[in-house]
């Protein structure tokens, strides 16, 4: 076998192994997060009252959305979710909901969270929106 083919095959094999390890690590990290009763919808105020209790937990909240400031060249966008007990920033990789839209969100509580230099004391990183 020619040396160029051997080098190319070695690089390809190493790339596949590194990619597989990264994917495995992401799955392990997701399993480490606590899920707070998957069916229960928490009041936003409950999370804000004791954010450390919910840090890195997966929670479900619902309320009325208000789009935040869109950041250019970033695949994450913040929007504010309000219910009768408070308001919390939700970080989405999808489209922002429209102003006044009622949404239910399942996501991971992060303390703090930062996008392009802007820091949110408590935020929920959206996993799924209903």
The reported pLDDT for the residue numbered 128 is: 96
Is residue 63 located within the same domain as residue 27? no
Is residue 60 located within the same domain as residue 88? yes
pLDDT in tens, 3-26: 676 676 667 666 666 666 555 544
Is residue 55 located within the same domain as residue 119? yes
Is residue 26 located within the same domain as residue 75? no
Identify the CATH number of the domain in which residue 48 sits: 2.40.50.140
Contacts of 47 (CB under 8 A, 6+ apart): 54, 59, 61, 86, 88, 109, 122, 124
Whether the predicted model's global pTM rises above the 0.85 cut: no
Q: What average pLDDT does range 95-121 have in this prediction?
A: 93
Is residue 96 located within the same domain as residue 46? yes
Q: Strand locations in 7-122, DSSP E?
A: 34-35, 57-67, 77-83, 86-92, 102-110, 113-115, 118-120
Number of domains in the chain: 2
The reported pLDDT for the residue numbered 28 is: 45
How many CB atoms lie under 10 A from the CB of residue 104? 13
Is residue 17 located within the same domain as residue 55? no
Is residue 79 located within the same domain as residue 111? yes
Asked, as a colleague might, if the bond just before 112 is cis with ω within 30 of 0, I would say: yes
- Residue 123 has phi, psi (to 5 degrees) of -145, 160
The reported pLDDT for the residue numbered 70 is: 74
pLDDT in tens, 31-85: 456 666 666 899 999 999 999 999 999 999 999 999 987 776 678 999 999 999 9
Is residue 62 located within the same domain as residue 17? no
Q: Strand locations in 86-129, DSSP E?
A: 86-92, 102-110, 113-115, 118-120, 123-129
Distance CA 123, CA 120 (A): 6
Distance CA 54, CA 69 (A): 25
The residue range of the domain holding 16 is 1-32
């Amino acid at each position: 076998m020619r040396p160029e083919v051997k080098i190319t095959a070695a690089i390809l094999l190493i790339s596949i192994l590194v990619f597989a390890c990264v994917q495995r690590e992401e799955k392990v990290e997701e399993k480490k997060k606590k899920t707070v009763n998957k069916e229960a919808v928490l009041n936003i105020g409950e999370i804000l009252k004791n954010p450390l209790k919910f840090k890195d937990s997966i929670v479900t909240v619902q309320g009325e959305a208000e789009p935040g400031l869109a950041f250019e060249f970033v695949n994450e966008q913040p929007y504010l979710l309000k219910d009768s007990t408070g308001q919390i920033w939700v970080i989405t990789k999808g489209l922002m909901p429209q102003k006044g839209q009622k949404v239910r969100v399942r996501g991971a509580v992060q303390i703090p969270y930062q996008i392009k230099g802007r820091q949110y004391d408590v935020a929920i990183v959206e996993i799924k929106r209903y």
